């Protein structure tokens, strides 16, 4: 009918009448979300606020974290075709009922390899970003961490751990809540799904790099077979874990499991530590728990700090 108001018009009218809510909800927008994705997810958040009475503008609590997590899951399903456990799918479909998305993407297959808030992201593109543009997945301007004296050696800047620590404190809380909801850490969990959803609830993305086992030098004892893949997972250029498997999916699952183990302690800490990368010792950013380690870390598959080098990006 001519002159009929769309759902977007109704949302805009509501926000115009509630300026406090409008200002607050805009702070929840993800760095990589385009306007179409954000308008849809914003409507999802506003429609479902009544179901979480403790969600109030400007107030951080578990209810808000859960609503934001579900909104990210819904957006990933709609725009990226990500698939989740059936109970989660039923929940987000119910919560998203009535939300109209103009010309939504068509997905021939359900993609679980990479859940991201960036439209069209794939594991290959993420691996490429991890090698060529390390600062882009952070949601930080490229070059922010590379403003260093040319005489300084390669590696993350000394202030990097302090800069990253607040984010990983939030991620620690999100993972702890998620694991409690799932009944605790165990072998039957979808470790990648848990890690991915928690990172997304904190409005960031994971970066996965895959390398065939036969191309890796210096593997731990018992990993000399030539078949299979190695996966390295990072978030905000910080190394989380490495996994080995018969294929990329299995390797990623093991890397996610190793990453989640770090969150089992009383806290997590971002530190600079020495690792091997292409036959050389380099300084890398790692997320660590309080457990003592008697052996070194797995060799790095990617090194996001090569732009820090003094005119040399090869190792």
**Residues 149, 251: Cα–Cα separation, whole Å:** 38
- Per-residue CA distances from 49 to 13, 75, 184, 310 (Å): 17, 16, 28, 51
The CB density around residue 213, as the number of other CB atoms within 10 Å, is: 18
What pLDDT, on the 0 to 100 scale, is given for residue 286?
95
Biggest alpha carbon–alpha carbon distance for the chain: 72
**Contact call for residues 37 and 117 (beta carbons, < 8 A):** yes
Under DSSP, is residue 274 helix (H, G, I), strand (E, B) or coil?
Answer: strand
Q: Which residue has the tokens 């190394």?
A: 239
Place of tokens 């190695």: 230
Helix, coil or strand: residue 167: helix
pLDDT, position 165: 93
In terms of Cα–Cα distance, which of 46, 57, 54 is closest to 98?
46
**238 - beta bridge partners?**
235
Query: For residue 235, how many C-alpha atoms fall within 13 Å in the half-sphere facing its CB?
Result: 28
pLDDT at residue number 106: 62
Query: In terms of residues, how long is the chain?
Result: 315
Residue 220's pLDDT is what? Answer: 55
Specify the pLDDT at position 45.
86
| pLDDT of amino acid 101 | 81
The pLDDT score that the predictor gives to residue 198 is 92
Q: Is 261 helix (H, G, I), strand (E, B) or coil?
A: helix
Exposure string for 231-243, b = 16+ CB within 10 A, e = fewer: bbbbbbbbbbbbb
Write out the chain's pLDDT in tens, 315 residues.
Answer: 344 445 555 666 776 777 777 888 788 887 667 888 888 888 888 888 888 888 877 777 888 888 888 888 888 888 877 777 888 888 888 898 888 887 766 654 433 344 444 434 444 444 444 333 333 333 433 334 333 433 345 689 999 899 999 999 999 999 988 888 887 777 788 999 999 999 999 888 899 999 888 877 655 555 455 678 899 999 999 999 999 899 999 999 999 999 999 998 888 999 999 998 888 889 999 999 877 665 678 889 988 887 545 444 333
Q: Which residue ranges make up each domain of the chain?
A: 7-95, 131-308
Output the pLDDT for position 28.
84
| C-alpha gyration radius of the chain | 21
φ, ψ dihedrals at 234, nearest 5°: -130, 160
Distance CA 12, CA 16 (A): 6
> Helix, strand, coil shares of the chain as percentages rounded to 5?
45, 15, 45
């Amino acid at each position: 009918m001519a002159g009929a108001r769309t759902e977007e018009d109704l949302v805009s009218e509501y926000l115009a009448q509630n300026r406090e809510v409008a200002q607050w909800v805009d702070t929840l927008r993800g760095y990589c979300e385009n306007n179409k994705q954000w308008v849809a997810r914003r409507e999802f958040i506003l429609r479902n606020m009544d179901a979480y009475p403790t969600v109030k503008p400007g107030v951080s609590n578990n209810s808000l974290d859960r609503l934001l997590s579900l909104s990210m899951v819904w957006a990933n399903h709609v725009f990226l075709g990500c698939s989740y456990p059936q109970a989660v799918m039923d929940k987000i479909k119910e919560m998203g009922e009535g939300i109209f998305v103009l010309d939504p993407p068509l997905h021939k297959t359900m993609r679980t390899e990479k859940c991201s808030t960036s439209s069209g992201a794939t594991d290959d593109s993420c691996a490429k970003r991890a090698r060529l543009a390390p600062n882009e997945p952070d949601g930080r301007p490229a070059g922010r961490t590379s403003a260093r004296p040319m005489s300084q050696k390669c590696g993350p800047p000394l202030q990097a751990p302090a800069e990253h620590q607040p984010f990983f404190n939030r991620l620690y809380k999100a993972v702890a809540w998620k694991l409690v909801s799932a009944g605790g850490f165990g072998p039957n969990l979808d470790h990648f799904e848990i890690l991915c959803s928690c990172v997304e609830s904190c409005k960031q993305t994971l970066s996965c790099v895959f390398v065939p086992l036969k191309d890796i030098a210096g593997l731990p004892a018992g990993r000399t077979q030539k078949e299979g893949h190695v996966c390295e997972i990072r978030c905000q250029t910080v190394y989380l874990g490495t996994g080995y498997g018969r294929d990329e999916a299995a390797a990623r699952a093991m890397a996610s499991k190793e990453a989640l183990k770090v969150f089992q302690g009383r806290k997590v800490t971002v530190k600079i530590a020495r690792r091997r990368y292409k036959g050389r010792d380099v300084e890398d950013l790692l997320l660590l728990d309080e457990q003592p380690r008697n052996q070194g870390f797995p060799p790095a598959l990617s090194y996001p700090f090569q732009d820090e080098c003094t005119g040399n990006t090869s190792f």
